[in-house]
A and B are shown apart, each in its own frame.
Chain A
Amino acid sequence: MDLTLKIWRQKDSNAKGQMVDYKVTDISEHMSFLEMMDVLNEQLVNTGEEPVAFDHDCREGICGMCSMYINGEAHGPDRGITTCQLHMRMFKDGDTITIEPFRAAAFPVIKDLIVDRMAFERIQQAGGYISVNTSGNTQDANAIPISKHAADEAMDAATCIGCGACVATCKNSSAMLFVGAKVSQYALLPQGQVEAADRVKNMVAQMDLEGFGNCTNTGACEVECPKGISLDNIARMNRELMKANI
């Protein structure tokens, strides 16, 4: 199929960006979206133009690196996937596709479609861990029994890949699904209890400091989340925060 791409080009974080039109031809419906981008970039390199910079790596939907905003949706049309798992069979011959970086004040553009998600790192560093020494002198793993239900629920929360689609898709640019997922994982496990109050307070404080907005329960984040992280995690985070503040 032949397509028109409207892509955000921006030389660096200080430059002014703009949408630029490109044509690609002979796109197979079996290609992934990123393979289609590879075709475009090969074309650009061959004509001596700078290829479009975009973040990508594992191309298996797990590293959380890819971050395109396609036709007004984080990771594009189709549910429960990252951009690398989006396939061209979702598009039709002659389509015009708009491709932008994730948009949020806390995610400044580095170049073209690449944004800086360091704010997520700083939130994790504010408390997204269990303070255990990495010496290996820990108790036997089966000495901490965990109900299957709790383990499964913690796993569901822990499945978050930190891609930032929740932020990009939220009208408030809220990071609460991301933070809620991490808070939930540890809140559900016995290992995380000792420092639970400090964890949630510190992570939420850092989240606010980074300039993410608040949650107004619109639920767009859950819809767009490639890993199906549930809004329940935001509710749990709020409960944990309330508990911590009492």
Chain B
Amino acid sequence: MALDSKVPEGPIKDKWTNYKNHIDLVNPANKRNIDIIVVGTGLAGGSAAATLAELGYNVKAFAYQDSPRRAHSIAAQGGINAAKNYQGDGDSTYRLFYDTVKGGDYRSREANVYRLAEVSANIIDQCVAQGVPFARDYGGLLDNRSFGGVLVSRTFYAKGQTGQQLLLGAYSAMNRQIARGKIEMFNRHEMLDVVKVDGKARGIIARDLITGEIERHSAHAVVIATGGYGNVYFLSTNAMGSNATAAWKIHKKGAYFANPCYTQIHPTCIPRSGDYQSKLTLMSESLRNDGRIWVPKNMDDVLAIREGRKKPTDLSEEERDYYLERRYPAFGNLVPRDVASRAAKERCDAGYGVNATGEAVYLDFASAIDRYGREQAKIQNISNPSNEKVYELGKAIVEAKYGNLFQMYEKIVDENPYETPMMIYPATHYTMGGVWVDYNLMTTVPGLYCIGEANFSDHGANRLGASALMQGLADGYFVLPYTIGDYLSDDIRTGKIPTDTKEFDEVEKEVKDRIDFFVNNKGTKSVDYFHKKLGKVMWDKVGMARNEKGLKEAMVEIKAIREEFWKEVKVPGSANEMNTELEKAGRVADFLELGELFAKDALVREESCGGHFREESVELDGEQKGEAKRNDKDFAFVSAWEYKGEPADAVLHKEELEFKDIELKQRSYK
């Protein structure tokens, strides 16, 4: 099947408006006869469910948690971008569009990104109307801050808990619709497969996680909003339950999977401390607004610090290597995530890591505390303030800005970040790859949509800070509700979709057979054993830096782990009860397939782009010497994989990316 992105004709700034003016609409009376299933109720799914219900459709929403409020969108800290130009610093729709395309290393779809920038301002208005308590300045107006990869202040925030507040906004909108009976909410349910009738998505098979019961649910369209697959690495900043099952199952039923190798490695995570570690914790990127990143200049100091003979605060300015400020003077500590992550890894690989594992750099707030302290002393008319006074005043400002993050760090590491620099290291965070969708956010299966992190379209090979929340809400509140109507306008006479059909019978049998296999397999090893093994191969060979040899080895190794998994996995308990091991087994089975496709995709992409450093593709001279080398001539495409059984047999389809409004050029943050 040829890929048709369905991007509307015309100038980029008019595409979305013209499109909306020409789509088919569904009469309000007919919306009452149409059912939509939304799987996943984070920012994208929650906002979509609420809006579709508001429009009048009957929505069935599914969450694997006890409440939509637990979705991992809740953990997003820093903020949400919007081209409001409230600060008057030159922001515009075009500039947000430009920054996002450039930040994504020119591997996203121009028309989608422009639309995202266009609706961004609306998102803020919507959320404020819902009572989201964004930070305000003393005049009562909205406050903004700046994020990596941009030169304007366009990030709206609610302390370090922006994701939480935006999610609770969407959740409250959902609650209003649940109360009205327009959303039927299925908590503690997991979608285990999609059902197609005559080629169209017409329902899902779900498992009630409390009783173990397998249920059939039908609808005229199905929306997948289940987030990313970063847990393929086992250790990531994702919640423990974040999984790829829904996205992977629809891939196996015909939805192409795009750019699986695009995974964001976030630069500011708390480093790993031991083998027992279950997950990694992110510290908001907003910390880089005020924190300075460094490692010691001299190896002697590195060793002294690791052995506890010296403290980081013993080192003078001259003895520190502020490597981001040194290498990228224009952006300094605010370079995009991929650049900051790679630079940290480069220093640690060179032996300058400052903790026991050698995988940590410092994020230091001493300069910020001093700077703010002196500023405050001036404001408060304190002449010749003592160093203690400056520290006290400065600390109060830093605490007001990042207090909860500092507290979180101290709880985990048991060190006070006001007194000593934080230690950070890159970790897997967000997946830019995902299910391929066209401009309508529809997958290659008619009637099957995919929104938010679960799809691929807007972030390219790298995601700028504060843009994930933006995409989730844009898709859910403002894009899908229009585009899905165009499709559903053909369904007004279809009537209720029956579930007692052979199509539902077949898929339900597949789902039940798999569950029966797990609970009856007399294996010897736990699910986590396999997940950790997969994670190690992924991080070592398909992580931030990759090469052809390693990727080929990874594909072989992952296949071997998968084969062992199906022989040796052990799942205690039964199918007809709450069984958390059974839930994990199904999810890890999917990761074991996705991981191999991930490596295959990385193997094909013989270029460095975004956070994905292909060791064979590096700038050899000039100002950019040593930096990642992108290859637009051969790789300015989206790789969309068609399922053909084994992941290694997947067939590649290319969506060539066209850049008509932005010139493709090397990213430089020098």
Could you tell me which A residues sit within 8 Å of B by CB distance?
11-12, 28, 30-32, 34-35, 38-39, 42, 44-46, 48-51, 53, 55-65, 78, 80-81, 85, 87, 89, 110-111, 114, 116-118, 120-121, 124-126, 128-136, 138-142, 144-148, 151-152, 154-155, 158-159, 161-162, 185-186, 189, 191-192
In the bound assembly, the distance between CA atoms of A133 and B478 in angstroms comes to: 12
Contacts of B168 in A (CB 8 A): 158
Q: Is the CB of B129 within 8 A of A45?
A: no
* Given A81-B411, A125-B178, A63:B74 Cβ within 8 A: yes
CB nearest neighbor in B for A43: B526
Is the C-beta of B158 less than 8 angstroms from some C-beta in chain A?
yes
Q: Is the CB of B50 within 8 A of A62?
A: no
CB nearest neighbor in B for A48: B572
Give min CB distance, B147 to chain A, whole Å: 19
Contacts of B84 in A (CB 8 A): 141
Is the C-beta of B135 less than 8 angstroms from some C-beta in chain A?
yes
Give min CB distance, B143 to chain A, whole Å: 8
- Which residues of B229-261 have CB atoms within 8 Å of chain A's CB atoms? 239-241
The residue that B478 contacts in the complex, of A39, A57, A125, A136, with Cβ under 8 A, is A136
- Which residues of B125-178 have CB atoms within 8 Å of chain A's CB atoms? 125-131, 133-142, 158-159, 161, 164-165, 168, 171-173, 175-176, 178
Is the C-beta of B273 less than 8 angstroms from some C-beta in chain A?
yes
* Given A110-B210, A128-B172, A60:B75 Cβ within 8 A: yes
Contacts of A146 in B (CB 8 A): 133, 136, 140
Can you name 6 A-B residue pairings with CB atoms under 8 Å? A35-B278, A49-B572, A60-B75, A63-B75, A136-B125, A155-B165
CB nearest neighbor in A for B139: A145
CB nearest neighbor in A for B270: A60
* Given A57-B65, A60-B408, A134-B47, A147:B125 Cβ within 8 A: no
CB nearest neighbor in A for B68: A121
Top 10 A-B residue pairs of the complex, sorted by shortest distance between their CB atoms: A145-B140, A129-B172, A141-B128, A138-B129, A151-B136, A154-B133, A155-B133, A57-B239, A45-B526, A58-B239
Give min CB distance, B159 to chain A, whole Å: 6
Q: Is the CB of A191 within 8 A of B131?
A: yes
Contacts of B547 in A (CB 8 A): none
* Given A42-B528, A45-B572, A155-B158, A130:B67 Cβ within 8 A: no
Beyond A51-B580, A111-B578, 19 additional contacts (C-beta under 8 Å) are A12-B577, A12-B578, A31-B276, A42-B526, A45-B572, A50-B581, A57-B70, A57-B241, A58-B72, A85-B408, A110-B210, A111-B577, A121-B67, A138-B126, A141-B129, A142-B142, A154-B133, A158-B165, A191-B128
Q: Give the residue among A56, A120, A141 with the most B Cβ atoms within 10 A.
A: A141
Is the C-beta of B388 less than 8 angstroms from some C-beta in chain A?
no
Is the C-beta of B286 less than 8 angstroms from some C-beta in chain A?
no
Q: Is the CB of A185 within 8 A of B51?
A: no
Q: Is the CB of A30 within 8 A of B65?
A: no
Contacts of B70 in A (CB 8 A): 57-58, 63-65
Q: Is the CB of B414 within 8 A of A130?
A: no
Q: Give the residue among A118, A145, A158, A185 with the most B Cβ atoms within 10 A.
A: A158
Give min CB distance, A45 to chain B, whole Å: 4
Give min CB distance, B555 to chain A, whole Å: 28
* Given A148-B136, A185-B131, A134:B578 Cβ within 8 A: no
In the bound assembly, the distance between CA atoms of A192 and B129 in angstroms comes to: 9
In the bound assembly, the distance between CA atoms of A120 and B70 in angstroms comes to: 13
Contacts of B210 in A (CB 8 A): 110-111
* Given A63-B72, A85-B411, A158-B133, A50:B572 Cβ within 8 A: yes
* Given A58-B74, A80-B407, A129-B172, A45:B131 Cβ within 8 A: no
Q: Is the CB of A58 within 8 A of B526?
A: no
Give min CB distance, A178 to chain B, whole Å: 12
The residue that A87 contacts in the complex, of B74, B142, B412, B526, with Cβ under 8 A, is B412
Contacts of A28 in B (CB 8 A): 274, 276
Q: Is the CB of B67 within 8 A of A59?
A: no
- Which residues of B297-343 have CB atoms within 8 Å of chain A's CB atoms? none
Contacts of A155 in B (CB 8 A): 133, 135, 158-159, 161, 165
Q: Mark B513-545, 1 if CB is under 8 A from A, else 0.
A: 000000000000011100000000000000000
Contacts of A189 in B (CB 8 A): 131, 133
Contacts of B71 in A (CB 8 A): 63
CB nearest neighbor in A for B277: A35
Contacts of B119 in A (CB 8 A): 136
* Given A53-B580, A125-B178, A142-B141, A35:B477 Cβ within 8 A: no
In the bound assembly, the distance between CA atoms of A161 and B277 in angstroms comes to: 24
Q: Is the CB of B276 within 8 A of A141?
A: no
The residue that A30 contacts in the complex, of B86, B135, B241, B274, with Cβ under 8 A, is B274
Contacts of A42 in B (CB 8 A): 526, 528
In the bound assembly, the distance between CA atoms of A31 and B279 in angstroms comes to: 11
Give min CB distance, B613 to chain A, whole Å: 28
In the bound assembly, the distance between CA atoms of A161 and B137 in angstroms comes to: 25
Q: Is the CB of B577 within 8 A of A134?
A: no
Give min CB distance, A232 to chain B, whole Å: 16
Give min CB distance, B670 to chain A, whole Å: 34
Give min CB distance, B603 to chain A, whole Å: 32
Contacts of B241 in A (CB 8 A): 57
In the bound assembly, the distance between CA atoms of A118 and B178 in angstroms comes to: 13
Is the C-beta of B205 less than 8 angstroms from some C-beta in chain A?
no
In the bound assembly, the distance between CA atoms of A241 and B126 in angstroms comes to: 28
Contacts of B51 in A (CB 8 A): 134-135
Give min CB distance, B446 to chain A, whole Å: 26
CB nearest neighbor in B for A78: B411
Contacts of B414 in A (CB 8 A): 87, 89
Give min CB distance, A77 to chain B, whole Å: 13
Q: Is the CB of B67 within 8 A of A162?
A: yes
* Given A64-B69, A136-B122, A59:B281 Cβ within 8 A: yes
CB nearest neighbor in B for A38: B278
Contacts of B505 in A (CB 8 A): none
Q: Is the CB of A159 within 8 A of B130?
A: no
The residue that A129 contacts in the complex, of B135, B137, B159, B173, with Cβ under 8 A, is B173
